[in-house]
């Protein structure tokens, strides 16, 4: 769907300003006139004026609040079809918090079981195995951010002193080193961390969003893995159309009675030969919102999944959403990504090297081994001898998406 650009109407704000000016001028006149009265009468008149102002101005602020609420509605950009539904699911993976006096946009972290267990003597797992939905994870994250332990962490990295933070995921702990040799090694690129024990160099100049991510990931062990995020988006789409996707697919997934289907969904299911999975030719002209992009691993199996949110054939933009930590530090976790194509050539494949995949790939922590791919385009085109990347569609969602689009959600 073509992105809809709408100009914000600033007139309500102008009307509000003029009304406020009139009210304040009236208040001034009342105050001047009251000077000739006795002190007590003047005082009471001022109180009455203030009360009147409160009752008169409050509705004006309410109008502004309604205006801002409308501005934040996904429909202003994405209309009322499937693109809006996917955007709503995506926005549930973010919260805004004030931490140490800073307004921060906290994104859902990445979390994959067994990804960092190799050298640890202690077994550890992420809460929910990376499969819990946002509404189950945010209360845990909120409790973490409100804890004294997190306050101590914030104070430590805000003391103005350079230091190295050493996390231990197996024990869900952290410590700080101000050893000059540790700091020098990090600056020189001599990384001493282990997969389950990341090292992070901080300036001591205050907490940033990336520091919050590090704590949630390494200490709280909360987040979603790639397929857990995709499953959440697809389940949300189904829910808006009146379908319980887990119930529909429980038999196929082999879900025992009473258990959560999300635990049994992985990228391997999306790449399976199940009758519920439709393989889609990956030419851009055939792509649709809610299609799943699969990235192949070195062993020939699919190793990563993402979901398409929109395809703008006029501007030549594919917007897809994913959860991964091989990204710029400030994007680790749930984030949006883009593919740019020539609108005059919608027949090209996603594997065509002329496409511009803007999502860069980096090590999750500076100093760790870099990703073998510089961007998502390289990753999608990788291992062509084993089939490379592919696109699939979930068959049960077809009638749901059609209904959502036809009724304008």
pLDDT at 64 over 60: no
Q: From edge to edge, which strands make up the β-sheet containing 333-340?
A: 277-280, 390-394, 292-296, 302-312, 317-324, 333-340, 356-357
Range from 27-36, 295-304, 353-362, 397-406 carrying the lowest mean pLDDT: 27-36
Q: How confident is the model at residue 65 (pLDDT cuts 50, 70, 90)?
A: very low
Q: How confident is the model at residue 174 (pLDDT cuts 50, 70, 90)?
A: very high
pLDDT at 298 over 70: yes
pLDDT at 77: 84
Range from 51-65, 110-124, 285-299, 326-340 carrying the lowest mean pLDDT: 51-65
Once rounded to an integer, what is the mean pLDDT over residues 224-236?
98
pLDDT at 8: 33
% residues pLDDT > 90 (the chain): 77
pLDDT at 378 over 80: yes
Is pLDDT larger for residue 258 or for residue 170? 170
pLDDT at 206 over 80: yes
pLDDT digits (tens, 9 = 90+) for 126-141: 999 999 999 999 999 9
pLDDT digits (tens, 9 = 90+) for 249-294: 999 999 998 899 999 999 999 999 999 999 999 999 999 999 999 9
Burial of 20 (0-12, 13-18, 19+ CB in 10 A): middle
Q: How confident is the model at residue 73 (pLDDT cuts 50, 70, 90)?
A: confident
pLDDT at 66 over 50: no
Is pLDDT larger for residue 68 or for residue 281? 281
Q: How confident is the model at residue 56 (pLDDT cuts 50, 70, 90)?
A: low
pLDDT at 69 over 70: no
d(C-alpha 284, C-alpha 177), whole Å: 50
Report the mean per-residue pLDDT for the chain. Answer: 87
pLDDT at 22: 38
Is pLDDT larger for residue 406 or for residue 18? 406
The CA-based diameter of the chain, rounded to the nearest angstrom, is 94
């Amino acid at each position: 769907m073509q992105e809809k650009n709408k100009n914000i109407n600033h007139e309500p704000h102008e009307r509000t300003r003029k009304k406020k000016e009139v009210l304040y001028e009236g208040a001034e006149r009342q105050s001047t006139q009251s000077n000739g009265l006795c002190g007590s009468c003047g005082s009471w008149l001022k109180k009455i004026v203030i009360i009147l102002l409160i009752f008169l101005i409050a509705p004006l602020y309410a109008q502004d609040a309604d205006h801002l609420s409308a501005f934040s509605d996904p429909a202003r950009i994405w209309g009322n079809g499937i693109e809006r539904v996917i955007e709503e699911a995506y926005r549930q993976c973010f919260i805004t918090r004030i931490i140490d006096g800073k307004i921060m946009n906290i994104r859902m972290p990445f979390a994959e079981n067994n990804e960092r267990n190799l050298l640890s003597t202690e077994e550890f797992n992420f809460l929910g195995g990376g499969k819990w939905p946002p509404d189950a994870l945010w209360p845990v994250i909120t409790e973490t951010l409100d804890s004294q332990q997190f306050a101590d962490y914030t104070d430590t990295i805000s003391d103005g002193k350079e230091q190295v933070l050493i996390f231990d995921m197996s024990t869900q702990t952290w410590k700080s080193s101000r050893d000059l040799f540790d700091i020098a090694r990090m600056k020189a690129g001599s990384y001493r961390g282990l997969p389950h024990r990341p090292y992070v160099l901080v300036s001591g100049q205050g907490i940033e969003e990336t520091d919050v991510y590090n704590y949630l990931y390494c200490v709280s062990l909360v987040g979603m893995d790639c397929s857990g995020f995709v499953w959440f988006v697809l389940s949300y789409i189904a829910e808006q159309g009146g379908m319980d996707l887990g119930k529909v697919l429980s038999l196929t997934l082999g879900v025992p009675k009473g258990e959560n289907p999300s635990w049994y969904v992985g990228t391997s299911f999306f790449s399976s030969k199940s009758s519920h999975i439709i393989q889609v030719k990956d030419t851009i002209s055939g792509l649709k919102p809610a299609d799943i992009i699969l990235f192949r691993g070195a062993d020939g199996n699919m190793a990563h999944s993402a979901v398409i949110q929109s395809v703008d054939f006029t501007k030549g933009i594919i917007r897809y959403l994913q959860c991964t930590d091989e990204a710029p530090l400030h994007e680790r976790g749930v984030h949006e990504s883009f593919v740019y194509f020539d609108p005059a050539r919608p027949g090209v494949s996603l594997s065509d090297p002329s496409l511009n995949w803007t999502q860069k790939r980096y090590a999750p922590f500076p100093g760790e081994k870099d990703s073998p791919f510089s961007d998502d385009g390289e990753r999608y085109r990788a291992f062509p001898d084993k089939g490379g990347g592919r696109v699939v569609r979930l068959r049960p969602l077809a009638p749901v998406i059609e209904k959502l689009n036809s009724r304008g959600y």
